[in-house]
Structure 1
């Protein structure tokens, strides 16, 4: 399988961190993580940065620990190439401040738990000043050992990477609100469309939402950005983009015609929710790494916030007969797809006309899918096609989104993820 170059756009919470660890644990022959961009979402963008810097600090400790214990250092992808880290959007396109769902406020961000329970896993130096718009020079200060900070905004870094590399050579994995991607596409749509594929965790098609009855967290948090990105899959992007009257804060309207369509693959709740990490699987995996005289830093750190998440899930479902609790691997599944798509076994519905509702009081972030092209069987011997069926697509409009519906190994995905992250344990 050829080396894949990727950008990861993320709002690091629990499953985002697992997705990042899965990507960085790849071999240098599998992945090259060129850029990690941060957006608001699970928490504010400042906490997202602290989460990410803490993760890189723990990975430095982990690789030293493995070397001292005669183990394979792992994380070949990270060892071979230090990714750039850029800070991006701190609010949705249409609002003055970030909003969030009450359900997700129960999932505290990583740093408070790590700082409170294991302060030695929080780095003394966070290099925060290196991300400032006007960086503060610190003389001969040492730079981060395993990532490269930049003070350039995330969306500009996305465009720079896409512009500096050949067309169709960089994949974007987006596992948070799509605000950074929308800003990049707004500034320079033709450069943005040089991307090979945009892989998105977001939305819900035939299952309920997880924040509202209609919507999934990433899409409801910034529906305008999702709507703008989805519209780039249409032959006539302006026909499915949010109307000009709702264009946010001077953003340019989506062009009527572009040189090519966006190759967009979505992983909605329909597929991600069934890919689970149970507490039993997680605990049995890391137990040997915690009982040795010198425990694994990575196992200790991840145990803190993963176990805390399981504890929160138990509180939410107290009194309900649900059996073994599982953490849905929403974000890691997108990385797993990029790592394993050449194996086969992935199944998708092609050219789905999925649009994002941006203005509904109760339906903000809802995925609206045009299924009217199906034949209506009024009589087995005399099927009738309704006169207005499939108008969107039949008129040459409509988005063309690939919806992933099946993975090659729903049961084994969590196990492979853990083996990769914890060094073949």
Structure 2
């Protein structure tokens, strides 16, 4: 049976959980990663770019290690070890993305970086504590695992969408949405060729992780998040691809399919320090040593901040969710279509995700009726259902699948 991979662009601000998400994506044959576009966020654009290049460099170190590695224990039969070694050697061979550097600041808001949690370098200070993992010459570094784009991230996103058949490329957004909003503003028709945007962001009907009411990605650039949210006006899941293509031929704007995975859903997936130590740190390979350096930093932060010794797996869950959606699996998830805006001006409410929860008349069939437009000034649409929000996601085997795919280890409970 031939595995069909789905073309994606990953827009990311490589910090600690982004690194886990990217390794999961790169180890997943279901994804054909056309481009990885970098944005500021967990740290400065200089640091997030360096972190991404470091991730690839560590893969090269890992592969070199396994070319001549001995079996981890004497009980393993040589033939069995050879099968495992081939899996470990080939696990990151599925994609060779273009890497493009994007926005270094939000569109209008004052800059806010997540260095309080991720460290000044975005990676728990490992470029200081473990300098041997940092590539010496980032500008001239050559790798067979990616190609540096001659364009910035905004133009690279548009080029990828323009050169692909319409509505085939999905964007997985793991950081502030600045790159996406700038690409949309620059060329709305080309950007509207995107199949779907799957975004880790927002705190809906829950507290935030940056302020009491805002999640980090939406807080970092609320204007960008709101631009993408507003670009969904008129979207309906009932619209067919053929209908969208006809709109493109008429040079009409096609509403975006924007799927939001809020942190109040993704926060239920936890990787414990105990499991990480037992199943990853114990491997003592270049990748496990590298990952342990910044994960220990993150576990200590979680213990100091929240009294728990585990890490919420927000970004990796978003990648896993995207894989499941794109693989057309029958998933244990629920979603609803809502009208959503992002607060851009509030002092205490900046980045807050606001969903219109006003009751609808029981006689109104939104599948047959057009969205009502009224001149409210601030909120001009009534009964709109254009943004897809994930309300639950039940992936019981997530941690086991993550460890199996990235490290080829079996979790005890798996």
TM-score bin (small chain): 0.7 to 0.9
Distance 1:182 1:77, change over 3 A: farther
* Shift in Å, 1:144: 2.3
In structure 2, how many angstroms separate the alpha carbons of the residues matched to 1:76 and 1:231? 42
1:417 aligned to which of 385, 394, 402: 402
* Shift in Å, 1:229: 0.3
Aligned residues: 364
Distance 1:213 1:288, change over 3 A: closer
Counterpart in 2 of 1:304?
Answer: 293
For the Cα contact (< 8 Å) 1:88–1:155, is it kept in 2? yes
Distance 1:258 1:357, change over 3 A: farther
Report whether the alignment pairs 1:315 with 2:317: no
In structure 2, how many angstroms separate the alpha carbons of the residues matched to 1:330 and 1:112? 17
In structure 2, how many angstroms separate the alpha carbons of the residues matched to 1:282 and 1:86? 31
For the Cα contact (< 8 Å) 1:33–1:77, is it kept in 2? no
* Shift in Å, 1:261: 1.3
In structure 1, how many angstroms separate the alpha carbons of the residues matched to 2:281 and 2:90? 24
Report whether the alignment pairs 1:22 with 2:24: yes
Q: TM-score, normalised by structure 1?
A: 0.80
For the Cα contact (< 8 Å) 1:13–1:48, is it kept in 2? yes
* Shift in Å, 1:75: 7.3
SS of the residue 1:8 aligns to: strand
In structure 2, how many angstroms separate the alpha carbons of the residues matched to 1:169 and 1:100? 32
**Which structure 2 segments of 5+ residues have no match?**
70-81, 236-250, 364-369, 374-380
For the Cα contact (< 8 Å) 2:42–2:122, is it kept in 1? no
Report whether the alignment pairs 1:100 with 2:86: no
In structure 2, how many angstroms separate the alpha carbons of the residues matched to 1:74 and 1:168? 33
1:125 aligned to which of 105, 113, 137: 137
Report whether the alignment pairs 1:215 with 2:214: yes
**Deviation by residue 1:26-54 (Cα, 9 ceiling, x = unmatched):** 12xx1111100011111000000111111
For the Cα contact (< 8 Å) 2:339–2:355, is it kept in 1? yes
Counterpart in 2 of 1:3?
Answer: 5
* Shift in Å, 1:349: 2.5
Counterpart in 1 of 2:333?
Answer: 347
For the Cα contact (< 8 Å) 2:118–2:124, is it kept in 1? no
Counterpart in 2 of 1:72?
Answer: 86
**Which structure 1 segments of 5+ residues have no match?**
131-141, 237-256, 291-295, 319-323, 376-383, 386-391
Q: TM-score, normalised by structure 2?
A: 0.82
- How does 1:181-196 map onto structure 2 within 5 Å? 181-196=180-195
**Deviation by residue 1:317-361 (Cα, 9 ceiling, x = unmatched):** 35xxxxx53211111111101222333224233321111111112
* Shift in Å, 1:66: 2.0
* Shift in Å, 1:124: 1.9
